[in-house]
Structure 1
Amino acid sequence: MELDTALPIVKSKEKSERRRSSIFSLLKIQKKLTRQFSEPGHFAAKRNNRKYSVDSAILSDYGKANGGTKDYLLEGNGLSMSVTELAGAASDSDSDASRSGMPDGQKVMAITRKQEILARIDSSYIEDTNRETGAAGELVEEVAEENKSLLWFLLKQARPGMDLSKVVLPTFILEPRSFLDKLSDNYYHADILGQAKYIEDPYLRFKCVLRWYLSGLYRKPKGLKKPYNPVLGEVFRCFWMNRENDSRTYYVAEQVSHHPPVSAFYVSNRKDGYVIEGSLLARSKFYGTSTSAILEGCARVHLLQWDETYITTAPYAHCKGIVMGTLSMELGGKVHIMCVETGYQAEVEFKLRSFLGSADQTNAISGRIKKGKETIATVEGYWDGKIDIRDKRNGEESNLLDVAVLKEQRMARYLVRLDCQHEYESQRLWAKVSDAIQNNDQVAATEEKTVVEEAQRARARNLVATWVPRYFHKDFHLQPPEGLIEQGWRYNHVNISPWQPDEELEYEDSFVISTLRALESRSPVESRTRDPVRESRASDSDSRDEHARPKTTTRTLKKTLYSIESTLREHTNAIEKLSRAVESLSEGHRQAVAFRPQNVGRIPTTSHSWDLFGGFVLAIVLQALLNWLFYQKD
């Protein structure tokens, strides 16, 4: 009987404890959500409409404890949602988070943060509708009669062998986009690199990288056009969506130098196993009847899973027919793709069509894949058509790539909406020039182009210190293989570590590419024995600590370190110069002493202490002599 009467009391206590635990857990969730959404953001309106889920058992107990099925609101800065709304939302996300063994509050935070990032990306990026790729064959353009006088004006400014970077180009030969944008053409098929992480044979991985490299060349503008020269500090960003695995390849570029013009870029899709970084110096040369646009520098392709780096160079663009005939453009020169870790390398020659050559010579390439001095395979074909590869060891010939097929497999590119772009983003900076060119208004295009360039010159005149790029820095430790040129610029937030199991999402925010990691999960024992009161107090303490600590970002720390490193480097150089000057003075002094006439025939002293001792003795003798003379006189 006593047992029967005690049982309801025990059950009542357990029920009360369970309710208390649920209440504290819900309060903790509210506190964390309030802290999360109190941070400033660009898309607060999106947050108000988004639903979140918490454990249904907590909501059930909380509702019973408060006497009914009322809706209870969790409110914060830019956040207002009901408890019943929370209970019914995002069940699929709950199941994903529950597999990681996270506590309920951490589940909500992880899901919320990921959804917030994806919502921001979806609202700020828009798919690029320009799918023009150009046709295979020679790239030509007929110059209109009214534009021929502008070409002659250009020729009057130029001399054979001259660099054309300072020559003002007529707007009718300009492509309505920046050079930073044009560099991104190489990554429409970056998903080919994603296949490399599944390939165990180093030679097959090298072929995969070579195939990707050649896949980025076929896109051509309509007519013979040249992109804008980026101004100092100009930036550009975009990403490509891989529909097969729902991953994104992010691209960030910045004009880090204007004289000479150097463009730095960074491409990342760590989930698919690759990161690309590089910097190129663009210069043009005039040869009297033709010009060449030359890119000096290289790119580094990192295959993260295999810890391999592939170094690549770029061909030059050759334009002819300026003085007479039809304007035409081809790619020329030899490019290199090499991997130090595996020893494989390729040299591919882009052949220029000869004066009397047939159409078969247009856009032709040939190359060899080697390991050491041994030729493994040969490559033949057309960079805007089909390219075949022939294995020298077994004689097998196969197709490396077919541009006609590749065009159907292009990943969709996404650009930042114009109203979300910063002041110096390429599309926004050149928007008026591009609009005028697309409307065939050459006068307005020239005027707007002049406005942008004059603003750049005025900014350069007002600089009181050396320009410091926002997202890239000079790395003096980068050493290219012999014979190659390295401009040496690196992304401030470079990350070439392999993708980890706890990493949820790679994303870009204001040109900073970061990774979202899953919150650290608790063990089952910790989850069962946790004290909600202690956790609530700890949460309050953490909140106070966050407000008390200064908000020093990783970016600020890195910039400070780079500044300190540059200052130390300058001081080290100054000390070395001073040391060399002192050494040269000392050497000159020693030589002057050694070759004095009175020292000829004498044995030079070798001890400075003996010189001092002799001088001291001589002084005593002279003093004694003087004393004796004066004493005798008296």
Structure 2
Amino acid sequence: MIMDHELDVILSKMADKNRRRSSIFSLLRRKKVSRQSSDPSSFYTLDLGRKYSVDSAIQNEESDDMGFLRCNGELAGAASDTDSEGSRQGMQDSLTSADPVAKKRDVLSRIETLYVEDPDREIGVAGELVEEVAEENKSLLWFLLKQVRPGMDLSKVVLPTFILEPRSFLDKLSDNYYHADLLGQAQTYEDPYQRFKGVLRWYLSGLYRKPKGLKKPYNPVLGETFRCCWRHKEDTYTYYIAEQVSHHPPVSAFYVSNRKEGFVIEGSLLARSKFYGNSTSAILEGCARIHLLNWGESYITTAPYAHCKGIVIGTLSMELGGKVHIICQETGYQADVEFKLRSFLGGADQTNVITGRIKRGKDTVATVEGYWDGRIDIKDKKSGEETSLLDVSVLKEQRLPRYLVNVDKQQEWESQRLWLKVSEAILNEDQVVATEQKTIIEEAQRARARSLISPWSPRLFHRDSRSAPPEGIVDQGWKYNHSDTSPWQPDELIEYEDDFVIKSIKSGASLGTSGEARLRELSQRASDSDSHDELARRSKTSTRTLKQTLHSIDSTLREQSLAIDRLSKTVEMLNEGQRAAAFHPQNLARVPTASHSWDLFGGFVLAMVLQALLNWIFHQRQEKE
């Protein structure tokens, strides 16, 4: 029988392996899995010195995202041994103090050092959004129109730079959170109906910001990431993390957290566009889940589409259209809000109109109407009382300040740094340079995709289909690897972001990476005494810490199991290739050896053994409680 302290030593060793990379990928790396690479650096001017293997996982337009990707001698999705080692070590050193106040002060100091306030405060004006196309750009627009046909998806069409907004779509999605404090207010209400109205108010508050002119953000490349935060008056921060997890189809996943204020948001959206002749629509398929942590409630929301018309005839203009849903299954409340497009002969009073109703079950509780970029009123069905739900003219003065990571401290695949030269050229109105720099990035991802052969695995998100959405709602099913939807605890001091991982510091222990500090503390306690009496006297806090640690390791191994599943499929396809090569000897040079397949199989078996060990340890601890 393995003693408790021996199990804890095993856990500690496992944590060490997880810190270096992951036990599965380390095994595959030690066994020298065959690799093929082709460096496109001959025409890619950005610094390609890799710190993350996502750099090698940029898909092209011809290949499927679940195809085979590997490049530059590293497995896609596996972090390098030197991933932000300096920043991590600096954070750990700053949190070694036992003084809780000092710990919190150190984190706030780091935030102020890493982040800078976003100087862009452009929010647009109320009313119709229109733009006159310059004469020199009309020929480019006509050239674009010759490439498309009605009903065609525009995601594969190369757009001219004069219609691009100088920021990534991952950045654009963050516009919904400038009023994240409204969610903090919503979770303070005791009445579930008031909470639902608070969530609806927050949802509608994220729509009014408009770019200057009719512009479209950059299509993110596969593996591109973006992060930012908003500072609240109470010195808390709402953090936003996003990653492009798929290129064809283009899917963006995001995670927003402010657990101290009582909410977490997670979601993923598939962006596609349709061309109709004189108009086009940008459609977002997917949903977001807003978790009010103190109430155990989740609110599922969908997004409207952006409709641009007047491409060939008339004035170029943009509106929001379609019907969106806000659903809380725990309380039974649901809102259906329709964004109405202005009719051909409609006036200004028909621009940006919304109407909707709040229901509980089949009963209508209230109606909503107004303008999504102006004032929106809500009318109680029973009493007939009408009140203001939100007024953009007042709300825009209460926007939270947004903070971005200093460009000099960004990693090479973060949006601002990746698109920096394109954005600078657009802001300087130099369309020639903008087009050249944009082409460099697009050609680079096509070339890299041609040299990659192992399955793509996003760095920050994974597929999770366990939470089925209500009928009629599409869920892309991507979940943040470090998701935490537990209520804020009294011993937690502050929440912060470190290398795209959102976590918190507790007053009782210093911070470690991937649960390392908690495992080390557990191992030390177990080695002092392995008696059952000592284990029985341990506090509930220590037990909860152990469970959280095991859950963290379990989540990591689950992610690696998904990767192994993909690798297993690769093995099957390689075996088929070997059989085919028996009849075509000239192809033998491209078929991996049989030992390669057994190496992958060995890694899969090891993952299963580790998973079984964790489950056994967890049940043993529960029995001793």
TM-score, with structure 2 as normaliser = 0.69
1:390-401 correspondence to structure 2 within 5 Å: 390-401=379-390
**CA positional deviation for 1:475:** 0.6
Alignment counterpart, residue 422 of structure 2, candidates 430, 433, 436: 433
**CA positional deviation for 1:118:** 2.1
Tell me the SS of whatever aligns to 1:516. strand
Alignment counterpart, residue 517 of structure 1, candidates 483, 487, 506: 506
Counterpart for residue 354 of structure 1:
343
Counterpart for residue 157 of structure 1:
147
> Is the counterpart of residue 127 in structure 1 residue 117 in structure 2?
yes
**CA positional deviation for 1:40:** 6.2
> Is the counterpart of residue 264 in structure 1 residue 253 in structure 2?
yes
1:407-418 correspondence to structure 2 within 5 Å: 407-418=396-407
Counterpart for residue 128 of structure 2:
138
**CA positional deviation for 1:554:** 8.8
**CA positional deviation for 1:120:** 1.6
Report if the CA contact (8 A) 1:189-1:216 is conserved: yes
Counterpart for residue 423 of structure 1:
412
> Is the counterpart of residue 230 in structure 1 residue 220 in structure 2?
yes
Counterpart for residue 298 of structure 2:
309
Counterpart for residue 559 of structure 2:
562
Report if the CA contact (8 A) 1:43-1:120 is conserved: no
Counterpart for residue 405 of structure 1:
394
Tell me the SS of whatever aligns to 1:108. coil
**CA positional deviation for 1:117:** 2.2
Post-superposition CA distance 1:260-318 (Å, at most 9, x none): 00000000000000000000000000001100000000000000000000000000000
Counterpart for residue 81 of structure 2:
none
Q: Which runs of 5+ in 2 are unaligned?
A: 1-83, 511-520, 529-548, 573-625
**CA positional deviation for 1:129:** 0.9
Paired with 2:358 and 2:292, the residues of 1 have a C-alpha distance of 19
Paired with 1:515 and 1:111, the residues of 2 have a C-alpha distance of 14
Paired with 1:378 and 1:395, the residues of 2 have a C-alpha distance of 10
Number of equivalent positions: 456
Q: Which runs of 5+ in 1 are unaligned?
A: 1-38, 48-76, 80-104, 522-534, 543-551, 576-634
**CA positional deviation for 1:325:** 2.0
Percent identical among aligned pairs is 70
Alignment counterpart, residue 458 of structure 1, candidates 423, 431, 447: 447
> Is the counterpart of residue 482 in structure 1 residue 471 in structure 2?
yes
> Is the counterpart of residue 324 in structure 1 residue 321 in structure 2?
no
> Is the counterpart of residue 491 in structure 1 residue 491 in structure 2?
no
Tell me the SS of whatever aligns to 2:187. helix
Post-superposition CA distance 1:319-348 (Å, at most 9, x none): 001012211000000000010000000000
Structure having greater relative contact order (Cα 8 Å, sep ≥ 6): 2
**CA positional deviation for 1:520:** 6.3
**CA positional deviation for 1:111:** 4.0
Report if the CA contact (8 A) 2:454-2:567 is conserved: no
Report if the CA contact (8 A) 1:141-1:326 is conserved: yes
Tell me the SS of whatever aligns to 1:470. coil
Paired with 2:554 and 2:475, the residues of 1 have a C-alpha distance of 26
Post-superposition CA distance 1:80-103 (Å, at most 9, x none): xxxxxxxxxxxxxxxxxxxxxxxx
Paired with 2:329 and 2:98, the residues of 1 have a C-alpha distance of 46
Alignment counterpart, residue 191 of structure 1, candidates 142, 162, 181: 181
Report if the CA contact (8 A) 2:259-2:488 is conserved: yes
Which one-letter code corresponds to 1:481 in the other structure? P
Alignment counterpart, residue 431 of structure 2, candidates 433, 442, 446: 442
Higher helix share: 1
Paired with 2:550 and 2:86, the residues of 1 have a C-alpha distance of 16
Counterpart for residue 32 of structure 1:
none
Post-superposition CA distance 1:134-156 (Å, at most 9, x none): 00000000000010001101101
Report if the CA contact (8 A) 1:171-1:446 is conserved: yes
Counterpart for residue 10 of structure 1:
none
Post-superposition CA distance 1:347-376 (Å, at most 9, x none): 000000011111110000000000011000
Which one-letter code corresponds to 2:561 in the other structure? I
> Is the counterpart of residue 344 in structure 1 residue 333 in structure 2?
yes
Aligned residues: CA RMSD: 2.8
Tell me the SS of whatever aligns to 1:448. helix
Paired with 1:387 and 1:112, the residues of 2 have a C-alpha distance of 45
TM-score, with structure 1 as normaliser = 0.68
Which one-letter code corresponds to 1:218 in the other structure? Y
Which one-letter code corresponds to 1:298 in the other structure? C
Counterpart for residue 495 of structure 2:
506
Counterpart for residue 276 of structure 1:
265
Which one-letter code corresponds to 1:564 in the other structure? S
Deviates more, 1:121-130 or 1:558-567: 558-567
> Is the counterpart of residue 364 in structure 1 residue 361 in structure 2?
no
Paired with 2:188 and 2:312, the residues of 1 have a C-alpha distance of 52
**CA positional deviation for 1:116:** 2.7
Report if the CA contact (8 A) 1:346-1:367 is conserved: yes
Which one-letter code corresponds to 2:175 in the other structure? D
Q: Mark the CA change 1:43 to 1:261 in structure 2 (over 3 Å): closer, same or farther.
A: closer
Task: Say which one has the larger Rg.
Answer: 1
Report if the CA contact (8 A) 2:100-2:493 is conserved: no
Report if the CA contact (8 A) 1:253-1:263 is conserved: yes
Q: Mark the CA change 1:120 to 1:555 in structure 2 (over 3 Å): closer, same or farther.
A: farther
Which one-letter code corresponds to 2:109 in the other structure? A
Which one-letter code corresponds to 2:292 in the other structure? L
